[in-house]
Amino acid sequence: KAGVTQTPRYLIKTRGQQVTLSCSPISGHRSVSWYQQTPGQGLQFLFEYFSETQRNKGNFPGRFSGRQFSNSRSEMNVSTLELGDSALYLCASSLLPDSTYEQYFGPGTRLTVT
Amino acid sequence: DQQVKQNSPSLSVQEGRISILNCDYTNSMFDYFLWYKKYPAEGPTFLISISSIKDKNEDGRFTVFLNKSAKHLSLHIVPSQPGDSAVYFCAASVGGSARQLTFGSGTQLTVLP
């Protein structure tokens, strides 16, 4: 069974640009969560999607947005990029958005903003 | 401000000995705690969890201890093996859920053969 896949794996963007990251969950998984990992802050929760609806959102500005498609694939978008957005963005999937279902993480997308 | 802190960025242990990784938290609303292991170029993988109604949970070589009064948890690995070398993240959540996790900054464990 294929794991969580994230594309692209690496990305370099310039300040002010926007970026879209993609996440394909494990087959059959319907819940997708996004996290940002930076050296100083560790992993921080961005948002969670289930059935194409955002269920929860972390403490991030509105420049960070996401969506989920009917096949459970998810994208996150960051507009007006800032240097501080440079991070590893991790996606995690689980069967359902229930605490009893373990989350499986993808390898992440490394975003560098110059 | 970091609500989950792992104050040791790195730890080296001899193979066969005990590894103890520590984690402190400040939010008293946290009631579910997890440990994840991360190898380079891979996403974190779930290791073990503990609910705030318990003070200990074991799974094979891994044991997690929770001290609620001190807002401290620790992960013990006995015996440590070279394959345990990885970054270990402590995470916490509210409402007994493994969702909306707040992570620590991680501890790099190196097990020396």
Q: Is the distance from CB of B81 to CB of B15 less than 8 angstroms?
A: yes
Q: Does A104 touch chain B (CB under 8 A)?
A: yes
Report residue A1 CA to chain centroid gap: 21
B82 φ/ψ angles, rounded to the nearest 5 degrees: -55, -35
Nearest Cα neighbor of A48 from A38, A58, A59 is A58
Residues in chain B within 8 Å Cβ distance of A41: 2, 105
Q: Does A16 touch chain B (CB under 8 A)?
A: no
Whole-number pLDDT of residue A99: 66
CA distance B78 to chain A (A): 24
Going along chain B, which residue ranges are E strands?
A: 4-5, 10-14, 19-25, 30-38, 45-51, 56-59, 62-67, 72-77, 86-94, 102-103, 107-112
Question: How would you write the pLDDT of chain B (113 residues) with one tens digit per residue?
Answer: 679 999 999 999 999 999 999 999 999 999 999 999 999 888 899 999 999 999 999 999 999 999 999 999 999 999 999 999 999 999 998 877 777 888 998 999 999 99
B53 φ/ψ angles, rounded to the nearest 5 degrees: -80, -10
CA distance A39 to chain B (A): 7
SS (H, E, C) A2-68: CCCEEECCEEEECCCCCEEEEEECCCCCCEEEEEEEECCCEEEEEEEEECCEEEEECCCCCCEEEEE
CA distance B103 to chain A (A): 5
Residue type, A62: G
Statement: residue A17 has pLDDT above 70: yes
CB pair distance less than 8 Å for A41 and B91: no
CA distance A37 to chain B (A): 9
Residues in chain B within 8 Å Cβ distance of A56: 99-100
* Secondary structure (DSSP) of B38-63: E-TTS--EEEEEEETT-SEEEETTEE
User: pLDDT digits over A42-101, tens only?
Assistant: 789 999 999 999 988 999 999 999 999 999 999 999 999 999 999 999 999 998 877 667
Which tokens sit at B4?
A: 């989950």
Of B36, B43, B99, the CB nearest to A106: B43
- Report CA-CA distances (Å) from B33 to A69, A108, B12, B18, B72: 31, 23, 24, 21, 10
Residues in chain A within 8 Å Cβ distance of B4: 42
